[in-house]
Amino acid sequence: MNKLIAVDVDGTLLNDDHQILSNTKDSIIRAMQAGHKVVIVSGRPTEAILPIAKELSFEKYGGLISSYNGGVITNFKTGEKVTNHTLNIDLAKEILEKTKNFDVFPLITNEYTMLSNKENAFLTVETQILGLKPLIIEDLSHAIDFNPHKIIFVNYPQKIDELIPFLEENFSDRTSQVRSLRSFYEIMPKNLSKGNSLIEIANHYGINQKDIIAFGDAQNDISMFEMAATPIAMANADDIIKEMASYITLSNNENGIGYYLDKFIL
């Protein structure tokens, strides 16, 4: 029976140098050649996943990209957006306005540009890793003129700790929220998650939920692990992810994905 193999990107598919190991790439391509469906499921914007999908030969074997934590599902070969969920612009402006007094930096991606309200190290690092152009707009809450896929608030963990209760109290009824990293808190459209997008993708391919395998490492992979019949944690994963996993493979620096595929699927 063909499987739906979902792979997270950062900390999972990519090693710590932000590269795909050659043996990992080889195993994924052989899985597609064997008839299994591979999908990239990431918090990254779509534009930052396209080069990764190309490296995995999605143009030859097909494959879907679930970006923005499930906000957009894209057919890599055709460029068609199978689904596209965004925050309402008025809601986004309200969130940005009401969080101005917190010591955090909002990050919002618009195609190949990442916006923030002031210069900060997180913006610099993220745009370098993702291949995006940074853009500073001081009064972001009034200047934004599009429906964003999500808002990421970044700063040191203790600053994020101070922000979370406010966001949960004021916006949890209208948004989905996830702490993807200790320094990253993400605000997304309501009922949006990697896990829900995984079910949408399984239905798209006509694959039963019992045949879904998901690889992940961080807290924004929790929903994906809840939906997958076989959740696989990387050795470098957060403890909560390891506790949910049916198997803990090698780390992202040790061909963890390829090791599991070779041992149990191929």
Name the residue type at position 74.
Answer: T
User: Does residue 71 share a domain with residue 157?
Assistant: no
Residues (pLDDT < 70) of the chain are: none
Structure tokens at 68: 């923005």
Q: What is the pLDDT of residue 77?
A: 92
Q: What is the pLDDT of residue 105?
A: 97
Q: What is the pLDDT of residue 83?
A: 93
Q: Domain ends where: 189, 212, 228?
A: 189
CATH for 22:
3.40.50.1000
Nearest C-alpha neighbor of 176 from the set 112, 85, 57, 63: 85
Q: What is the pLDDT of residue 238?
A: 96
Q: Domain ends where: 163, 189, 215?
A: 189
CB-based burial, 2-40: b 16+ in 10 Å, e otherwise: ebbbbbbbbbbbbbeeeebbeebbebbbebbeeebbbbb
Q: Domain ends where: 136, 170, 189?
A: 189
The SS3 call for residue 131 is: coil
Predicted TM-score of the model (pTM):
0.91
Q: What is the pLDDT of residue 112?
A: 94
User: Does residue 75 share a domain with residue 198?
Assistant: yes
Contact 116, 99 (CB under 8 A): no
Q: What is the pLDDT of residue 1?
A: 83
Q: What is the pLDDT of residue 164?
A: 98
- Distance, CA of 196 to CA of 120 (rounded, Å): 32
